[in-house]
């Protein structure tokens, strides 16, 4: 998915086992979708903790921050609790949304179908305003670029 495109609505399971749709997420605010490879891995934990530590800024921009991985919602629940994450985590266990956003590794260190580290800002009309898909999972998204997209 690229800037200017409109993704199809989706519904994924949150850490409480409830379905959350894209339409729910963008109802009254922009949404920042952050796809990440695996809960509890070093870089992913660092990225999600960075988001946690900067939530005041994202809240001031009226942004709904959402982390998405192919981990089960049970794993994401433990990850959220262990790291005191203060935003929504969604399980794309069946890889449908990662595939829709074209941010899925075919092979990630022997694991088939793992989300690439990616960031998408979607406005209230459902249009992507920012899109970044990283092939190198050791790299982090451009947080300054995300900030500018959320601010505009």
Q: Point out the residues that are catalytic.
A: 44
Residue 114, strand partner residues: 105
Q: Is 126 buried (19+), middle (13-18) or exposed (0-12) by CB count in 10 A?
A: middle
Asked if 128 contacts 1 with a C-beta cutoff of 8 angstroms, the reply is yes
Assess contact for 117 and 35: CB atoms under 8 A. yes
CA distances in angstroms from 148 to 5, 61, 63, 101, 121, listed in the order given: 18, 10, 12, 21, 10
Please give the order of strands across the beta sheet that includes 118-122.
Answer: 19-21, 11-14, 88-91, 63-69, 30-35, 118-122, 128-133
């Amino acid at each position: 998915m690229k800037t200017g495109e409109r993704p199809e609505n989706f519904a994924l399971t949150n850490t409480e086992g409830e379905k959350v749709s894209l339409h729910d997420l963008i109802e009254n605010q922009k949404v920042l979708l952050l796809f990440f490879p695996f809960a509890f891995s070093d870089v992913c934990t660092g990225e999600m903790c960075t988001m946690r530590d900067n939530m005041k800024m994202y809240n001031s921009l009226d942004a709904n921050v959402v982390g998405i991985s192919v981990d089960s919602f049970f794993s994401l629940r433990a990850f959220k609790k262990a790291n005191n994450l203060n935003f929504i985590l969604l399980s794309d266990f069946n890889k449908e949304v990662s595939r829709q956003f074209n941010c899925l590794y075919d092979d990630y260190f022997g694991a088939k179908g793992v989300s690439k580290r990616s960031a998408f800002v979607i406005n209230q009309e459902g249009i992507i305003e920012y899109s970044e898909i990283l092939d190198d999972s050791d790299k982090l998204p451009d947080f300054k670029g995300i900030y500018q997209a959320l601010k505009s």
